[in-house]
Structure 1
Amino acid sequence: MKPAAFSGPFALGTFSAPGEAPFPGLVVPDGHVLDLRTALGEPALTARAVFERWAELLPRLHELAADAQADRQPLDALHVHAPVEPRQVFQSGANYRQHVIDLELAHRSPDDPRTVEEARAETAEIMDRRAAEDLPYVFIGLPSAITGPYDDVVLPSWAEQPDWELELAAVISRPAYRVSVEEALEYVAGYTIANDLTDRATVFRRDMKAIGTDWLRSKNAPGFTPLGPWIVPAASIADPGDLRVTLRLNGETMQDESTKDMLFGVARIVSYASQTARLLPGDLVLTGSPAGNGMHWGRLLRDGDVMDGSITGLGAQRTRCTAEVSR
């Protein structure tokens, strides 16, 4: 039996036994899972429903985690699904200073008159100005892009430059609308890992440059957001602004950066998104990806690649890339 790696006494996820329907589960560090439908006497319970009643259920979850007599199943015998099915996915772009500088250099036009040093300095100045002006950049993703933390990722035949972007994701615990930065973390139930895959070739609309980015095309293919393996309660994470985000490709470290490099922390992003939209229980707020993506390395995803992603205290995911079979 493998232990489950995460901070704190328990985490939450969605699991299934062979041939059976998925269920919301409480996983403890020794690698066992408790079916919350049975433990709470609610056969129709889902993971999202747990977050809809987060304040009510949290004390009971602590009790169940501490109950050594609870009827648990070995994690090794279960399939691990994405831990929650959100109604909305909010994604923060250009939120890591070094990542944006690297991307700007990777996307430079061949006829750009600036030297590399000039382009780097100019982009650094832009990022510093954005931080000073306190203006995050948030867009919307599709829940249908989410897949499990150990599922294969199909690379669409049209994706010319598929890339990885490992990110810290916050999970919302109660409706949040126009909340302040100071109170925003009160609306966060916990944290998980998201890999926000992106086809770099379709990020920008070549036919209509004035429109800008095309996030639908570049980020929302089925399976382009591996999520999990589980959600760790916020109280078990001392500081979401000081976590290590690491992605290895076929065993080689590509991303290895602290969330300290974020321009805007979790509280600011949650608050900012809530000024326009009503965030709902179980919704995801992705906080952006640090430096070290494929465009930086000149090495993009291809058939057979294996990505191992981890974030301090949240566990690890492993996904294998497969090329789409031509129809």
Structure 2
Amino acid sequence: MEEAHVTGFMLGTFEDGGEQFPGAVFGETVVDLRTVVPGIKRIGDLFADWDAHLETFESIDPAAAGTRPLGGLKVLPPVQPVGTIIAAGANYREHVLQMSVAHKLGKEGADAAQLAADAAAEIDERGRSGDPYVWTGIPSAVCGAYDDVQLPDVGGNVDWELELGVVIGRRAHRVAVEDAFDYVAGYTIVNDITSRTLVPRNDIAMMGTDWFRAKNQPTFFPTGPYVVPKRFIPDPAKLRIRLSLNGTPMQDALADDLLFDIPSLIAYASSMAVLLPGDVLITGSPAGNGSHWGRFLRDGDVMEAEISGLGIQRSTVRGPSGQLPPWYVDRPVAVAAVGGAAS
């Protein structure tokens, strides 16, 4: 499938001299939307009449509107207030195969070829007759596209997972697949950071995995830099997803290897819960995670992440603080079991 080329303005949240404002990005300049639509104080205010606001923004003459240089602004997570992350797991076929081999998820003693074959059969059957796997991320774990990623003091093997984010623009509950795109406001970039050692709960195996602690630590969802309105992206499956680590390509794929596509994910998630404007549905990660490469994030690493037409993230990784949370100060065995601060 040919990669899409995206044109049109982008929306985001910016800070200038300590003041935050919603903006529309035209090239290398930003128009303060508060000067265009009275009463708009943040991007979340636009959802009440999203399409009408977009029509207004399309008629903006940046030269006449009064712009600010993009390079002089701090870029914040684009949608304010930050919504819930609705996350689809194990949703890229090749990614699932790689993870099954890397983590030996299958029959005991099976070699890599057998693990991959068994995983392929399982995922194909789930695509035919099963449901998506969806979990949630909390707003406090979201950071900006250029903010540092902080490695935790408890937990190790911290991994990257670059994902296409779908910004929900309307209250969505029990949405049909054929109507799902009507609830999409636009698209953004999300890097779903994971501490792999915190995923399993070996102390309570019957509960399986613990996504709360593995994925919801501060800075674990670099998001943005922008939201690109849906009207500028007719086919999100043609968007190209790329992530490099210290200049070395790690992930490079089109967003077309989804087990469950965007409408299916919205229909499924909204069958269980109410999705709200500003929530971000992340659609799964393509192949090329650290688990596959046998290389996890370290202090000083730099991730550069891009989805065609949606902008570029640049995240510098910072090492653990060296100070345990109070809960773990007197639990050295528990800390050691998940790798501890030095992993």
* TM-score normalised per structure 1: 0.94
Which amino acid in structure 2 is aligned with residue 25 of structure 1?
G
Residues 154 and 223, structure 1, Cα contact 8 Å, conserved in 2: yes
RMSD: 1.5
Taking the aligned partners of 1:326 and 1:110, their CA distance within structure 2 comes to 36
1:1-327 pair list within 5 angstroms = 7-18=6-17, 20-29=18-27, 31-42=28-39, 45-64=41-60, 66-84=61-79, 85-108=81-104, 112-327=108-323
Report the 3-state secondary structure (helix = DSSP H, G, I; strand = E; otherwise coil) of the residue aligned with 2:316: strand
Aligned residue pair count: 318
Taking the aligned partners of 1:305 and 1:60, their CA distance within structure 2 comes to 41
Taking the aligned partners of 2:322 and 2:47, their CA distance within structure 1 comes to 40
Deviation, 1:50, is 1.4
Residues 52 and 282, structure 1, Cα contact 8 Å, conserved in 2: no
Deviation, 1:176, is 0.8
Taking the aligned partners of 1:102 and 1:128, their CA distance within structure 2 comes to 15
Deviation, 1:324, is 2.3
Residues 93 and 123, structure 2, Cα contact 8 Å, conserved in 1: yes
Report the 3-state secondary structure (helix = DSSP H, G, I; strand = E; otherwise coil) of the residue aligned with 1:120: helix
Report the 3-state secondary structure (helix = DSSP H, G, I; strand = E; otherwise coil) of the residue aligned with 1:69: helix
Report the 3-state secondary structure (helix = DSSP H, G, I; strand = E; otherwise coil) of the residue aligned with 1:178: coil
Report the 3-state secondary structure (helix = DSSP H, G, I; strand = E; otherwise coil) of the residue aligned with 1:22: strand
Deviation, 1:54, is 0.9
Residues 156 and 197, structure 2, Cα contact 8 Å, conserved in 1: yes
Q: Tell which deviates more after alignment, 200-209 or 162-171.
A: 200-209
Taking the aligned partners of 1:51 and 1:291, their CA distance within structure 2 comes to 33
Distance 1:62 1:294, change over 3 A: same
Taking the aligned partners of 2:175 and 2:247, their CA distance within structure 1 comes to 41
Which sections of structure 2, spanning at least 5 residues, go unmatched?
Answer: 324-343
Report the 3-state secondary structure (helix = DSSP H, G, I; strand = E; otherwise coil) of the residue aligned with 1:189: strand
Distance 1:110 1:56, change over 3 A: closer
Taking the aligned partners of 1:130 and 1:52, their CA distance within structure 2 comes to 37
Which sections of structure 1, spanning at least 5 residues, go unmatched?
Answer: 1-5
How big is each residue's C-alpha offset from its partner over 1:46-85, in whole Å with a ceiling of 9 and x where there is no partner? 1111123313312112122x45311110101100011013
